[in-house]
Amino acid sequence: MGKDRLDEPLDLNNYATWKLRFELLCGKLRYGHALLAAPISEADVIMSNKVKSVMAKNVKNHHLQTIVRAANAKAAWDALAATFASTCNTRKIALRQELSDFKMANGEHMPVYVSRVRQLQSDLLDVGHVVTDAELTTIIIKGLPRTYHVIITALEMREGAWSGTTLMTSPVVRGRAERYDTDDVTCRTWAHGAVRH
């Protein structure tokens, strides 16, 4: 990418991340103040037009009209923020609901399940909502089907808190538990070992 282009332009679902990166880019180019105040002097107007140009290069086509119609860079910046304020809140609510209802799909392999919840965690971070690893671990365990009941019990009985990292590196996530779905004796044997580790 050029020195005035981001790797990922503003689209429909990446405003929070794009905003941070664009602010950093403007700071690097020494254009940052043009986002904060309307231009007053002739030099400010020139700077504002440069920032609008850089902004136009870093958005998808459906956002161009917002930038072109704005009187200056600050107005364009504020218009984009206003556009995404309601969209961001709506998306945040939808993603939080999805996280609340998160379950393992029928026949889904553990690594895929964990990858899906991690993506959801990332999507929530993009809209400004942080899901801690401890919360994520609880959601992962809560979303496991009944066939994992022995493993769930073992995880709940294990001494010490389960962090997301601990869960991600456990045999459950590495896929060993998948073969235990139908073999309760083997599952109990594995769970006993998980509690002791």
pLDDT in tens, 178-190: 444 444 444 444 4
Mean pLDDT of 8-36: 90
Percent of the chain at pLDDT above 70? 78
Mean pLDDT of 161-166: 55
Structure tokens at 80: 């984009």
Give the pLDDT score at 1.
55
Task: Give bridge partners of residue 10 from the DSSP assignment.
Answer: 59
> Which are the contacts of 165, defined by CB distance < 8 A and separation ≥ 6?
133
Mean pLDDT of 40-63: 95
Q: pTM of the prediction? A: 0.52
Mean pLDDT of 102-129: 88
Number of residues in the chain: 197
Give the pLDDT score at 157.
74
Tell me the CA end-to-end span of the chain in Å, nearest whole number: 47
pLDDT tens-digit map of 140-155: 888 988 888 787 777 6
If DSSP codes are grouped into helix, strand and coil, which group holds residue 59? strand
Contact 136, 121 (CB under 8 A): yes
CB atoms within 10 A of CB 8: 13
Mean pLDDT of 85-90: 76
**Exposed e or buried b per residue across 69-97, where buried means at least 16 C-beta atoms within 10 angstroms of its C-beta:** ebebbbbbbebbeeebeeebeebbeebee
